[in-house]
Structure 1
Amino acid sequence: MAKRDDPETIGRRVQQLRHERGLTQRQLAEPAYTPAYISTLEAGRVRPSDEALRHLADRLGVAFDELATGRPARLATDLRLRLTEARRTFATGEAAEAGEQYAALLAEAETYGLMDEQATALLGLGECALDTGDLAAAQQHFERAEQTLRDAPLPARVPALRGRAVAHYLAGELRYAVYLLESTLDELNSGGLHDPDALLLLYASAIGPYMDMGAHARAAQAAEFALALAPQVGDPALVARMHRQVARTLVAEGRLAEADASLAKAAEMYRQLQIRTELANCHWMRGYVHAQNGDLEHAETELRAAQDMLSAKRAALYSSQVAVELADVLHRRGKSEEASALLHEVLGDLSSERGAVHAAAAHRLLGRIAEDARDTESAEEHYVRALSLLERAGATGDLADLCRLLGDLLRRTGRVEAALDAYRTGLGHRTAPGTTTLGPAPAQPPL
């Protein structure tokens, strides 16, 4: 039962409702109470018993909870239904409209002190902010959701923690994102809080940062755990998201057919659930798989489909990231001018604080295009900028190859010592991928 208001607040509410209904104190009191009791109650000088409140609620024609707490009858149920509607709006790709719905619902939930509904609205606002690329706002919303749920069990706080980690990951703070995910996994597993949904969400979310940090073995292990947990998970959208993340590790291991099959499963789930946002991400990943397999025509088709869907819903950050992948395919298909124009267009939406890994990929590709055009000065500038972005983000996964490209360019232009320095830097990142930035692996779930 919700906590009832103080006697003064209840007294004012009884008086207001009595006046609205045109009742005297005597009419309200009869037959069980006296007018003097009603007068004392309305003045806030007595705390009414549950029995008295039920009598008054019946005479005033309102629910007991509404009289005791001020919350309209069925308010929490109605709020939850409208939160579900906001989630559907978001799923169709209308993040800005969903954000407005969530903000209004948050204000209403705060007015009536409905903590669970406040947390749900804040999580929704965080997801909307991620989608539109407002990473600072996303972090704030997820932090507030976590604070709202501070007294709830850890599994209930996991979506907020995972949201914070994703926001930091997209902002280029890979180490901190991994720390948040791994420390939460450790706390769940070591504390015996083996909630399959929470564990799956965390393991699937860790795959991206692991891959970008070059910790491929740990990414593969997270994917293995996620796949093992999937049969115990009841949320199909969560399982679909897991399949999309697992595809990254399969591609890295050269298991392209399995990766494509995993993405096909995810895409079918998203179509059935009518989640347009994640369906766009499936097109994105399938384009990446086709590109890795050398099927550039199908890769371009899939990536263009993803970009069209993401642009239509104004997801600027994700749309820019897809554009970088598309530009790589266009360059490989001999459409370098179109690729270069696309990269220059999206670099305004990417930075060291917003999509650092893809910003680095854009500069790396512009460097390769400049090299092909024999513009070595421009190529070197782009490689150095890419190197700086990756080092700042801790994304060691691509650093070794980038150092090789820079070293080859420096060697061809006669700067042998500088080339050797670049090669040594690359070798340092290649010897033990991920080990310099990651601590011990998190505890394993009981599978």
Structure 2
Amino acid sequence: MSGTGRAASADEAAETPARGVPERPDRPVGQDAPLVIGERVKRLRKERELTQRQLAEPSYTAAYISTLEAGKVRPSEAALRHLAERLDVSYEELATGRPGHLATALRLRLADAQRILATGDAADAAVEYGRLLARAEEYGLRTEQATALTGLGECALETGELAEARAHFEAAEQQLADAPLPERARAVRGRAVAHFLAGELRYSCYLLESALDELNTSGLQDPGALLQLYTASIAPYMDLGAHARAAQAADLALALAPQVSDPALVASMHRSVARTLIAEGRAAAADAALAKAAELYQQLQMRTELAHCHWMRGYVHAQHDDLEKAESELRTAHSMLISKRAALYTSQVEVELADVLRRRGKADEAAALLRDLLGGLHPDRGAVHAGGAHRLLGLIAEESGDAEAAEEHYVTALSLLERAGAAGDLADICRLLGDLLRSEGRTEAAMDAYRTGLGHRSSPGTTTLGPAPARPPETPWG
């Protein structure tokens, strides 16, 4: 070791703990332990072929550098900035081991990965998110890890890998366990959507309502987080038959929208609100909401979401018996989703398209489409839509005179929808099954089916949900 005999300067003395006085155990925020920093300084010094004296001068001594490299002293910020300049690295890299501006660079690349998911292929986006996750893990960047995990979850949602999606969202929430709820809202929403798509409607509502309660009762009334959660709750509420709650969530989302600057969130809100408008018979208002959403999605080049707008517009046309326009919109949505390789959503659109084809007299084409898609709509990947597919196959079989096949499909649909708790659809399938059984003279069995349906229709949604989530105590945006 060179230069050990030089007297310590006043600056050096300030850096060196007094003999017999233990070093403070607490470390400056974001700084590694002294031993880790010392080893880093030693490695960088040797890579640059500097002696301890050369590194120390003019502000410190070689003896101080030796003590620091041995991990026996915690360097101050001033000392680290001096050493960083001499070693030609950033202060952040010397203090934490992270390259300078790494977090900023990662956030930019995460935004690029989100654009790939929106405009390109989910598989390509997942590869990029995976790379960024590994990079964030390497340097312990928890927020960026959570963002990458959430992105991977959204990729898995699009490709229909719902168990994988749930795992990614849960991991993201764990990374943000100590963060305020608004920072976790995107991951919570993603996990709830994954459960919803799997047919676990009640649990999806539970996750969203719990988060809304926490936000509204704790003062953390972040408009963007609230908008995400209220918007996501509309679909499971509707499928459960809880139309009043869906309408309330839609009203609160509409009130929040002017306070939110993210156009993708606003577009998602308009698309979800359109569903409540359709249920209320307000077709013109629903079409206007979908047009607003489609315009924003077009500007953002969000192809999957734009396909959803075509899908819902097809549904609106079908509700008003404009079957030609309905088929056109649904085929557009179908083509867009196939190009995005969004397998689960593609199958769900095919159920709607098959219904329109059946009503247009193309029963054979509809049946073939339904049989092909059912393989991808097993109970853990879209129970509600699988139930819808069996319902349509039952109608096609009944219309062709095959009562036995019709009954089989209706019973299968009933089982799937009961598992999901889809109250409104359950009432309808019970009516169809009851009518079929009655036409065959099986009166008692028909009465049982009707009673089951009436039980689901009497108070839709209220028997499967707890108390409604708390409303915001104040709504300054209203």
Counterpart position of 2:446? 419
Contact 1:93/1:277 (8 A) holds in 2: no
Paired residue secondary structure (1:368):
helix
Aligned partners of 2:462 and 2:78: how far apart in 1? 66
The structure 2 residue matched to 1:279, chosen from 306, 322, 338, is 306
Confirm whether residue 231 of structure 1 aligns to residue 268 of structure 2: no
Aligned partners of 1:4 and 1:199: how far apart in 2? 35
- How far the C-alpha of 1:43 sits from its partner, in A, is 2.4
* Equivalence map 1:105-120=2 (5 Å): 105-120=132-147
Contact 1:2/1:69 (8 A) holds in 2: no
The one-letter code of the counterpart of 2:58 is: P
Confirm whether residue 4 of structure 1 aligns to residue 31 of structure 2: yes
The structure 2 residue matched to 1:393, chosen from 414, 420, 424, is 420
Confirm whether residue 130 of structure 1 aligns to residue 157 of structure 2: yes
Contact 1:287/1:299 (8 A) holds in 2: yes
The structure 2 residue matched to 1:87, chosen from 114, 118, 123, is 114
5+ long unaligned stretches in structure 1: none
Map Cα deviations across residues 224-280 of structure 1 (whole Å, 9 max, x no partner). Answer: 111111111111110100100011111111101110110000000001111112111
* Equivalence map 1:56-71=2 (5 Å): 56-71=83-98
Counterpart position of 2:69? 42
- How far the C-alpha of 1:2 sits from its partner, in A, is 5.1
Distance 1:387 1:110, change over 3 A: same
Confirm whether residue 295 of structure 1 aligns to residue 291 of structure 2: no
Counterpart position of 2:182? 155
Confirm whether residue 214 of structure 1 aligns to residue 241 of structure 2: yes
* Equivalence map 1:2-41=2 (5 Å): 3-41=30-68
- How far the C-alpha of 1:34 sits from its partner, in A, is 2.0
The one-letter code of the counterpart of 1:127 is: E
Counterpart position of 1:243? 270
- How far the C-alpha of 1:353 sits from its partner, in A, is 1.3
Counterpart position of 1:432? 459
Paired residue secondary structure (2:424):
coil
The one-letter code of the counterpart of 1:27 is: Q
5+ long unaligned stretches in structure 2: 1-27
The one-letter code of the counterpart of 1:17 is: L
RMSD: 1.1
Aligned partners of 1:231 and 1:81: how far apart in 2? 27
Counterpart position of 1:53? 80
The structure 2 residue matched to 1:164, chosen from 185, 191, 207, is 191
Aligned partners of 1:2 and 1:85: how far apart in 2? 29
The one-letter code of the counterpart of 1:256 is: A
Larger deviation, residues 39-48 vs 161-170? 39-48
The one-letter code of the counterpart of 1:135 is: L
- How far the C-alpha of 1:202 sits from its partner, in A, is 1.1
Counterpart position of 2:373? 346
Contact 1:174/1:213 (8 A) holds in 2: yes
Larger deviation, residues 342-351 vs 40-49? 40-49
Map Cα deviations across residues 131-158 of structure 1 (whole Å, 9 max, x no partner). Answer: 1111111111111111111111111111
Identity of aligned residues (%): 72
Aligned partners of 2:67 and 2:449: how far apart in 1? 84
- How far the C-alpha of 1:45 sits from its partner, in A, is 2.5
Larger deviation, residues 47-56 vs 295-304? 47-56
The one-letter code of the counterpart of 2:262 is: D
Confirm whether residue 406 of structure 1 aligns to residue 430 of structure 2: no
Bigger radius of gyration among the two: 2
Aligned partners of 1:376 and 1:40: how far apart in 2? 88
Counterpart position of 2:23? none
The one-letter code of the counterpart of 1:441 is: A
Contact 1:352/1:393 (8 A) holds in 2: no
Paired residue secondary structure (1:398):
helix
Paired residue secondary structure (2:140):
coil
- How far the C-alpha of 1:297 sits from its partner, in A, is 0.8
The one-letter code of the counterpart of 2:412 is: R
Larger deviation, residues 215-224 vs 254-263? 215-224
Larger deviation, residues 12-21 vs 417-426? 12-21
The one-letter code of the counterpart of 1:10 is: I
Aligned partners of 2:30 and 2:440: how far apart in 1? 75
Confirm whether residue 327 of structure 1 aligns to residue 354 of structure 2: yes
Aligned partners of 1:2 and 1:63: how far apart in 2? 17
Paired residue secondary structure (1:23):
coil
Paired residue secondary structure (1:397):
helix
Counterpart position of 1:140? 167
Count of residue correspondences:
447
Aligned partners of 2:451 and 2:411: how far apart in 1? 15
Map Cα deviations across residues 72-116 of structure 1 (whole Å, 9 max, x no partner). Answer: 011011001100100000001411111111111111111111111
Counterpart position of 2:399? 372
Confirm whether residue 362 of structure 1 aligns to residue 389 of structure 2: yes
Aligned partners of 2:209 and 2:96: how far apart in 1? 41
Map Cα deviations across residues 376-406 of structure 1 (whole Å, 9 max, x no partner). Answer: 1110000000000000111111111111110
Map Cα deviations across residues 254-310 of structure 1 (whole Å, 9 max, x no partner). Answer: 101110110000000001111112111111111111111111111111111111111
Aligned partners of 2:45 and 2:463: how far apart in 1? 71
